[in-house]
Amino acid sequence: MEAALFSLPSSSSHSYPFSLKSHFNNPFITSHSNSHLKSRPRTLTIRSAISRTKKEETVETVKQQLEDCYLLAGISYKGLTVKQFQDLRAQLPETTKLLVAKNTLVLKAIEGTKWEALKPCMKGMNAWLFVHSEEIPAALKPYRTFLREKKLEENDFTGGVFEGKFYGPDEFKVLENLPTRAEIYSQLLGSLKGPASAVVGTIQAPARNLVMVLKAYVKKLEEEGGSQ
């Protein structure tokens, strides 16, 4: 058996091209500098995976909120405090959900859908109102009241999509003044009792109004049949 012989340094001032430390690594001793360098990439990888997961969850949440959604509106939330957001959420109807999400993630969720018309308001800092009710004015009124009471008129609606059409900030009054269900029912009943021209006028109304009118008429007939 051959044995390798290593010469140990003496007290003389000779220099050696190697040392025992460089040739033998102690498995029970960890270098602080090396462990620090090794752990950094691992930490960054974990953080990146968490960030990517959160983004995917946000996109999925937006998609879920779009189901049975009648109106998607953006609001400017720059400068609003956490407390103000909590107060606002408490004032909204149960059918209206408020979600904070980056424009890029919302845009990814609505891509290829009728909600893609919302692109013009993908600027600045937005929060998003998902209205799951046909009563659009009732859903928007709490936010308008909130702005007035908190003197936050600058945090107005940045845009919205209703029935596939985009409404800018200057057009939001149209949505806020849509007739309620009760008003449409009243209009229908008045038309049925009035001249034929009034009925024609009702039928020529927007598709949403016509559908609600027909539903009301069917319900009326069912109630009359049940009472006989």
pLDDT at 18: 42
Least confident window among 92-96, 139-143, 212-216: 212-216
- Using alpha carbons only, give the angle 144, 149, 155 rounded to the nearest 5 degrees: 50
Structure tokens belonging to residue 212: 């609600």
Q: What is the pLDDT of residues 98-112, one digit of tens each?
A: 999 999 999 999 999
Question: Are 64 and 25 contacting, i.e. CB atoms less than 8 angstroms apart?
Answer: no
Position 79 confidence tier, pLDDT thresholds 50, 70, 90: confident
Position 179 confidence tier, pLDDT thresholds 50, 70, 90: confident
Position 193 confidence tier, pLDDT thresholds 50, 70, 90: low
* pTM exceeds 0.75, yes or no: no
Mean pLDDT, residues 111-135 = 93
Mean pLDDT, residues 21-29 = 47
Whole-number Å distance between alpha carbons of 177 and 184: 13
Instruction: Check whether 32 has a pLDDT greater than 80.
Output: no
pLDDT at 5: 37
pLDDT at 78: 85
Give the start-end residues of each E strand in the chain. 71-76, 96-100, 126-131, 157-162, 165-167
Burial class of residue 69, CB neighbours in 10 A (0-12, 13-18, 19+)? middle
